[in-house]
Structures are given as C-alpha cells and as structure tokens.
Structure 1
Amino acid sequence: MTETGIALGLTFLALLVGGVPIVATLALATLVGLWYADIDFIVLAQRTIAGTQVFSLLAIPGFVLAGDLMMHGGLSARLVRLCQALVRHVTGGLGMVTVLSASFFAAISGSAPATTAAIGKIMIPEMEARGYRRNFSTALATASGPIGQMIPPSIPMVIWGVVSEESISQLFLAGIVPGILIAGGLMVWCWISARAMGLSRETRRSTGKELLAALNDAKWALGAPAVILGGIYGGIFTPTEAAAVGVFYGLVVGLFVHRELKVASLYAIILESMKTTAIVCFIIATASAFGWLIALEQLPIALADAILSVSDNPIVILLMLNVALLVIGAVMDNIAAMIILGGVLTAIGSQLGLDPIHLGALVVINFAIGMATPPFGYSLFVGSAISKLSIEQISRALWPMLLIQIAVLMAVTYIPEVTLALPSLLR
C-alpha cells in the first residue's frame, strides 16, 4: 500500500472513531490524501461536484418528497387500518400489523428511517396500550423499517445502481423476495412473542364488509406503488421519472382526494424533504471525491486481493464479506460506504463470478440490516427518539429480530435465485 493510501486510511479511521460527522471525515481525509499525493486541493471541489452530476440521482429527492407527501397526506394511517383489518384476530396480530404496515409503506417511502418514523409513531403507543412491552414494540418498528431499503423504490438500490452502473429496475426487483421473507419471519416472531407474553387475540375477525371498507379506504395508498412500479416495469417511465410521478401522485391524493394535506403545510414538508436530500447528496458528493482518490491509489484492487487471498473457498469468502458489511453497516453511513467500497465489492464479485444484481442485493440487504443494528443504526436512533427508550433497552428485544434478518441474508447469499428469480424476467 502506498504512503498516500496509508495516510488516507488512517485519517479516515481516526476521524470516524473520534465521532467527527461523516461528511467532514470524508472531506478532511480526502484533503490529507491529496496533500500526500501532491495533488492540487482544487480536485476536491471538482470531484465533489462531479459526484452529484448523475441523472439517476435525481430520483432521490423525488422519492424522498413523494414519501413525505404521502405520509402527511394520510396514506400511512390508511395502510395501518387495512393491515389491522387483515390480521387483528391472530395472536400477535397487532405486532403483525406493524410489520405489514412497514412493508406497505416501504413501497412508498423507500427509506428505512422514514418507515420506522411513520409506522412507529402510530403503532408503538397502540401496541403498548394492548399489553406489549414498550421495548418490544419499539424494536419491532425498528427492525421493520429496513424493509424499506429492500422493497422498491429503494434509495440505496438507486445509489448502488449508480455506483456499479447496473440496472436500477433489476435491482428493485432483486429486493422484493428478501423483503417479503424478512417480513414473514418477523410476523412469525410476533406470534411467538405474543404467546410468551400471555397476550390474547386482540379482537374478533374482521367481517367481509369491514375488509372491503378498509380496502376501499386504502385504495389510493395501495395505488401508489402500483403506479410507480407499474410505470417502471411497463416501460412507461424510468426510475428517475417515476420519482416525479410519485410526487405528483402524493400531491393530488393528499390535496384533492383525502384532503388531509394542506397547502399551508407544503412549505414545511418540502423544506424537510430538501434537508434530507441535502444531507444525502452532500454525503454522496464527498464520498465520491474520497472514492476517486482511493481508486487512483488502486486500493480497491489491493483490498480485494487481500480478502481473496485468505481462502479460495467462495463459501468462506462470502461469509467473511457478509460479516464485514454488517459491521460497516452498523457503524458507518450506508450511502458513503457504498460509494467508497463500490470498487472493492465489484472487484470481489467479479473474482467470485457473482451476478452483479445478486451482488447489489447482497450489499444493500447487509447495509439495511445495519440500519437497525446497535450501536449506530439510523432506524435505531429513530425508534429511540419516538419511544424515549435508550438504545440498550431497545437492543435487548431487537436481537432475535436481527437474527431472523441475518438468516434471510444467508439464504440470499448462498441461494442466488432468491434475488435473481424476478430480475431474470426482464433479461
């Protein structure tokens, strides 16, 4: 490894461990690397700007705003009521409502923290009132949030598609089956936990009339993913254009159909979406500069060779890769990690003969689980803020749910068809 590479890596690790914000860490480490490589500092500005000049990234502000508009427009509340009508009569039904609602909302927001916030605010107080322990309810909302990064439209899938230059549409499809499997596993855990807590069934089974009423009330909420994904896979518009369609759909439904979205509140909603988008894009910009310098020093190739030299057994290498990605996802911003490690991961995937879409799903699912993993998972922080519980209190109930997600991750890792069955339909 070159002197520049060593300086770059040590500076990055020191700042990260020291608690410096990820954007500042990336920028300062890049400056140190440029200084060691005797490259003009103006390159930092050039590469930072270049990192955001990608058409596909326009999908991010669109999906962020669409999710916020739909949440404030009453779509998330209607999804919750539909899920309650479907499973409220089952033991652990209210917990299952949380998982189902998060899965449906994931197809609207595409964001783990947003899903945890939208569903957690509604379901955590409701579950506690029905006898569930508060830390279990919060852990369930936290663990369900990352489903939003698997089920399309997924912002991390967009980022990985840009980084790896792979089809975003196929990456979207690759996350559907793993997302459903994780949702199913969490619902089974709700049933087991409810019996262990001695909770009875919440209420009677919904009648056909009640189910139809709930379905009718939620039809516009269910229509959002149908319009967005149907348009993408029907060849009507690209994922980037789909984000704009999602914004238009959220505005029309919120303002004129449900009438819960007020014109006076649009400024605050747009401003909040802009803040979220600015944070994401600032991370992408600085991570792009950092990643460019890493590539210049040929560190991805060196790191890939080092990992592949440990063993020639693909099973062992994939297991090591999963462990590394889970740890990184639990302590580092996922977007920055994908951009920085993109070259390393694609090199390893190529050496192992992995399908690029399978590799992308593997990376995104690992980082999605990291969003709920102690100590620094973003969804974990959101759950803590909503419930007013400490990270330690939530973590005690969270570990079994994380093990379920890791079990699905292992299936994704060693059974490629789990992620490739649906994308193969587009090939």
Structure 2
Amino acid sequence: MTAISWCLTAGFAGLVVLGFPFAIAIALAVTAALLLADIEPAFLAQAVISGSQQFSLLAIPLFMLAGELMTAGGLSQRLVDLAGTLVRHRTGGLAMVAVLAALVFSAISGSAPATTAAIGTILIPAMAAAGYSRAFAASIAVSAGVLGPLIPPSIAFVIWGIIAEQSISRLFLSGIVPGLTLAIGLLVICWAHAKRNKVPRLPRASLAETWAAFHQGKWALASPLVVLGGIYGGIFTPTEAAAVSCVYALVIGLFVERKLTVPALPGIVASAMRTSGIVCAIIAVSAGFGILVAQEQIATRFAHWMADSIEQRWLALASLNIAFFLLAAVMDEIAIMVILGPMLIAIANRFGEDPIHFGAMIVTNVSIGMAAPPIGYCLFIGMAISKLTLGQISRAIWPQIMVMLVVLFLTTYIPGFALMLQPAGR
C-alpha cells in the first residue's frame, strides 16, 4: 500500500479511535492524503460541494423533519392508542403495542432513532407501570426502532441508493419482508417474556373504544398510504414524497390535531436539522474520500484479494456480515455505508450479487447496528428515556438481537426473501 492508502485507512481509523467526529476524521484524512499526493487541498471543498448537491439527499432532512412533526403533532400517540385497542388484552399485549406502533411510525419517519424516541417516550413508562421490567421495556422500544430503516420510506435505503446508484423505490420494496419478519419475531418475544414473567394482561378494549381509536388515528394511518402510494403510483419521487410527508404532517398537526403550534416550529426544525446535518456532513466529505479510494484502487484491490482468498459465495457473504456487525457495534452505521460503499460494491460485483438484494443485506445489517451494544444510536435514546445504564439495556436486548440475526441470515442467503415484492420482469 502507498502512503496515501495508509493515510486514508489507518490514518482515518486512528482519528476515530482518538475520538474525532466521523465527518472531521474523514476531512482530516482526505486533507493529509491530498498533501501527500501534492494535490491542491481545494479539491476537498469541490468534492464536498458536489457530494452534497444530489437531489436524493434532500429526502434525508425532509423525512427526519416529517418524523419530528408527526411526534410533536400527536400522531405517534394516536398510533399507540390504536395499537393498544387491538392487542393490549393479549399476553404481552402492551409490549406488542410498541412493536405495532413502531411498524406504522417507521413508514412515516424512515428513521430508527426517530421511531425509538416517538414510541419509547410513551410506552417505556407505561410498560414499567404495567409490570414489565424497565430494562425489557427499553429494549423493546430500542429493537422496535430498528424497523425504521427497513420499512419504507427508509433513510438508510436512500443513502445506499445514492452510493450504489440503484433505484431507491426498488430498494424500499426489498426491506418490507425483512421488516415484517422482524416485527413478527419481536411480537413472539413480547409474548414469551410476558408469559415467563407472569405480566398481568390489560382489559380488552370495547368496540366503542376500538372504533374511536380508529377514527382518531385515521390521519396517522393515512400518512404511509399517501407517501408510499404516491411513490409506487408514479405520482412523485421518494425525495418529493419526503416533502409531501412534511406538508402532510404540518397540516394535520396544525389544523386537524391542533397539538402543533407555530411558536414550536423553529425548535422542531432545528432538532431535525441537527440530526440530518450530522448525516449529510459525513456524506458530503466522504465524496472526496471516495474519489481518492478509487484513485488508489483500494476497493478494487481488496475485492480481488477477497475473491482470491474466499472462493465460496456463502463464505464471502458471511465474512462481510460478521465484519459489518462488529464494525456497527463501535462505529456510526451511516459512516460505514458511505466510507466502505465502494469496497462493498466492488465485492458484490466480483461475486455476481444482485445489487438490490445486496442493498437489502447491507441495510438490514446497518439496522441491527442501530440497536447493537455498545454505541447503537437507539440504545442511547432508550437510556435517556428509561434512565437506565447501557449495561442494563444491553443485557435485556440480546434475545431481540438474535431474532435480528436470523432475519439477516434469511436476507443474505435467500435472495427471494428480500426480492419477493420486486416488480415482475426486473
């Protein structure tokens, strides 16, 4: 490896270990590599501008804003109330409410942290009061949040679609079956936990309560139909759908639910901007990183080495999943996709992987990383809501992690599992 290659790999890794934010670590590694290569450092500024001017990137802040508006506008509470009337009387019913509410909210926000925050804020205290251990309540909210990147529209699929230059709409479809399968697995865990710990059931909702919950929750239920119906009906693109989702959430919150106020809007927008700014900064500075990686042929050389060392496709995919899972436990998931994207794509091409199936595998692994100890984003949100330590939630979440790994196995080795809903002839 050349000095530039060492700078981009070992140099970047060293900066991350020292605690530098990922965007700054990437920028410093690229700047050092440019100086070594005697390239004008202004190249980085040009790469940042070009890397941040992709139309599809607009979907990221817009979907994050839509999630914030839905939560502040009371639609997440409506989803919880509706799910409660359907399953609260069953064994593990209140925990199941968290999973079902997260399933629908995921189709609004496209974000694991947003889903965990929206559902956890309401249900972690309620589950603790109903007889569940606080650690289990937090672990269910965290693991249900993982549905956010899998159920369309998904910010993670938007990012991967940009990196891999694949259809974002088709990538959205590849996450539905893995997401629903994970939701079913989490429902089983809820039932088993409540059965084993003799958690008392809640009273069954009357028909009047159920009808009232459906009536009050109709606007929340309509949001995914509007967004996804528009995308697959060819009315608007995924990026335009994100804008529609924001307008919908704003109108419903201000004029229908009336829980959203004009004075609160600047704070809501600022919160969404802070979160999306971190993601977009990583993507922008990674444009220069990717160009230098391609110039040094790091990804290509690694793909050739892997193909020469590992002949079996199943073993190569297993190696990638293990490496990805370990990286996701200590590194930002978006950064992994952006930084390792060219290398992953080269490996997929080398082994003849379908790009949509490979994207589903990558995003499923990224989703697990959101809940995997020690630095999964959703874990820290669960800690903040529940007031528990990382260790307490981590000990409670391992059954859910095992279910996630089963879903990852199915997604990896049964292409039809993820590609089941793809349009005919594609």
Q: Give the TM bin, normalised by the shorter chain.
A: over 0.9
- Write out per-residue CA displacement over residues 351-398 of structure 1, whole angstroms, 9 at most, x where no aligned residue: 222111101111111011001101111111111111111111110001
In 1: Cα distance, 2:108 partner to 2:7 partner: 42
1:289-338 Cα offsets, whole Å, 9 max, x none, are 21221111111111112222232111111111111111222222222221
1:75 and 1:193 map into 2 onto residues whose CA distance is: 28
1:286 and 1:172 mapped to 2: Cα distance?
A: 26
Q: How far apart are the structure 1 equivalents of 2:82 and 2:10?
A: 51
Which secondary structure does the structure 1 equivalent of 2:247 belong to? Answer: helix
Q: Does 1:56 align with 2:56?
A: yes
CA distance in 2, matches of 1:78, 1:105: 10
Aligned structure 1 segments of 4 or more residues deviating by more than 6 angstroms: none
Q: Where in structure 2 are the equivalents of 1:127-276 lying within 5 Å?
A: 127-203=127-203, 205-276=204-275
Distance in 2, Cα, partners of 1:187 & 1:135: 17
Quote the offset at 1:3 in angstroms.
2.2
- Contact 1:329–1:368 (CA under 8 A) maintained in structure 2: no
Matches of 1:425 and 1:152 in 2, distance apart? 19
Q: Does 1:19 align with 2:19?
A: yes
Tell me the residue number matched to 1:325: 324
Asked if the contact 1:255/1:262 (under 8 Å) is kept, the reply is yes
Tell whether 2:387 aligns with 1:388.
yes
Give the aligned partner of residue 378 of structure 2: 379
The answer to whether the 8 Å contact 2:93/2:202 transfers is yes
- Whether the 8 Å CA contact 1:170–1:426 is kept in 2: the answer is no
What's the % identity of the aligned pairs? 52
2:339 corresponding residue in structure 1: 340
Task: Report the CA distance shift for 1:266/1:282 in structure 2 as closer, same or farther (over 3 A).
Answer: same
- Residue by residue over 1:97-143, the C-alpha shift from the partner in whole angstroms, topping out at 9 and shown as x without a partner, is 11111111111111111111111110000000011111111111111
Cα displacement (A) at 1:425 = 4.3
Code of the residue aligned with 1:283 in structure 2: it is: I
Specify every segment of 5 or more residues in structure 2 that has no aligned partner in the other structure, as ranges.
none
Task: Look up the match of 2:359.
Answer: 360
Query: Could you say which residue in structure 2 is the equivalent of 1:35?
Result: 35
Q: Which amino acid aligns with 1:189?
A: I
Q: CA deviation at 1:180?
A: 0.5
CA contact (8 A) 1:62 1:244 kept: yes
Amino acid in structure 2 at the alignment position of 1:92? G
CA distance in structure 2 between the partners assigned to 1:29 and 1:177 by the alignment: 39
Question: 2-side partners of 1:33 and 1:116: how far apart?
Answer: 39
* Per-residue deviation, 1:153: 0.8
Deviation, structure 1 residue 410:
0.1
**Counterpart in the other structure of 1:308:** 307
CA distance in 1, matches of 2:248, 2:38: 51
Provide the residue aligned with 1:117 in structure 2: 117
Deviation at 1:20, TM superposition (A): 1.3
Residue of structure 2 in register with 1:9 after alignment: 9
Query: What is the deviation of 1:426?
Result: 7.8
Alpha-carbon distance between aligned partners in 1 of 2:83 and 2:217, rounded to the nearest angstrom: 10
Shift of 1:284: 1.0
State the AA in 1 paired with 2:103: S
Q: What TM-score do the two structures reach when normalised by structure 2?
A: 0.98
SS at match of 1:149: coil
* Residue identity opposite 1:410 in structure 2: F
SS of match in other structure, 1:116: helix
Give 5+ residue unaligned stretches, structure 1.
none
TM-score, normalization by structure 1: 0.98
Q: Give the match for residue 93 of structure 2.
A: 93
Decide whether the 8 Å contact of 1:330 with 1:367 is kept in 2.
no
Cα shift readout 1:239-260 (whole Å, capped 9, x = no counterpart): 1111111111011100111111
Q: Secondary structure at the match of 1:261?
A: coil
- Give the Cα separation in 2 of the matches to 1:289 and 1:386: 38
Find the counterpart in structure 2 of residue 399 from structure 1: 398
Report Cα offsets for 1:163-219 as digits up to 9, x if no partner. Answer: 11100001111111111100110110011111111212222x223332222111111
Checking the alignment, whether the CA contact within 8 Å between 1:135 and 1:397 is kept in structure 2 is yes
Partner of 1:80: 80
The separation in 2 between residues aligned to 1:190 and 1:425, in whole angstroms, is: 36
C-alpha separation in 1, matches of 2:144 and 2:294:
35
Provide the C-alpha distance between the structure 2 equivalents of 1:97 and 1:270, rounded to a whole number of angstroms.
Answer: 28
Query: Shift of residue 225 of structure 1?
Result: 0.5
Specify the code of the residue in structure 1 equivalent to 2:415.
Answer: P
3-state secondary structure, aligned to 1:312: coil
The separation in 2 between residues aligned to 1:313 and 1:252, in whole angstroms, is 54
Summarize deviations over 1:267-297 as a string: whole Å, max 9, x none. 1111212222222211111122212211111
Show the 5 A alignment for 1:404-415. 404-415=403-414
Moved more, 372-381 or 208-217: 208-217
Question: How many corresponding residue pairs?
Answer: 426
Q: Deviations over 1:57-105 (max 9, x none)?
A: 1111211111111111111000000110110111001111111111111
Code of the aligned partner of 2:135: N
- Between the aligned partners of 1:345 and 1:233, the Cα distance in structure 2 is 28
Displacement, 1:33? Answer: 1.4
